[in-house]
A and B are shown apart, each in its own frame.
Chain A
Amino acid sequence: ILNVEQSPQSLHVQEGDSTNFTCSFPSSNFYALHWYRWETAKSPEALFVMTLNGDEKKKGRISATLNTKEGYSYLYIKGSQPEDSATYLCASSAEGGTSYGKLTFGQGTILTVHP
């Protein structure tokens, strides 16, 4: 995998449903995996940064896992609420001085939670 890929591209769920998205990233030269939440007309907001294989992070009803060996991360939302509606971006960064802190972003998963 040369790029960061996210699936699905969009998702519609009912309030109260639990849902999850996938982020696939290059496993070679891996440094960190980032998840962002991006609401319409706002700027992306950092959710999690994960670095170690097997990492799990949690913030309220949202959690994420990381598998660096196979190059994927899952984001889970338990009991979705309409206010969870947003685009969820993942991004990977590579190790090394010439990376200059750059992140490679996926195209995002657009989540819509219907009341």
Chain B
Amino acid sequence: DAGITQSPRHKVTETGTPVTLRCHQTENHRYMYWYRQDPGHGLRLIHYSYGVKDTDKGEVSDGYSVSRSKTEDFLLTLESATSSQTSVYFCAITRLAEYNEQFFGPGTRLTVL
């Protein structure tokens, strides 16, 4: 347990609505990540952050944006949710001192109808 919480844990929304997922960590880690889980693809990186207000795109960033105004919070926003964004979303932090070992939050299950 790396002190990572995600909210909400489950959400059902409709196509076209904006959705924001929150990741909160308590250990003051600099690097944070958002992944989505897809069958046959394992975990795919959406966006990551390397400091407050410092973010960059991952491999599947289209349709997503992120913000990090405080070290402890990393927000993922789906600007206009689509059914293809139905997935389980995981937030993670890296412990650089442990060879970049990543620790994951409990996940958010998002269903877009």
Chain A residues at the B interface, C-beta cutoff of 8 Å? 9, 31-32, 34, 42-44, 46, 49, 51, 87, 89, 91, 93, 99-103, 105-108
Contact = CB atoms under 8 A, between A and B. Distances in A.
Q: Is the interface of B mostly helix, strand, loop or mixed?
A: strand
Given A101-B100, A107-B40, 8 more contacts: A31-B100, A42-B107, A46-B103, A93-B100, A101-B102, A102-B100, A103-B100, A103-B102
Contact of B45 (A31, A49, A102): A102
B39 to A, nearest CB: 9
Interface in B95-109: 96, 98-107
Interface of B: 31, 33, 40-45, 48, 50, 56, 58, 90, 94, 96, 98-107
Contact of B48 (A34, A91, A100): A100
Contacts of A99: 100
A100 B101 contact: no
Contacts of B98: 49
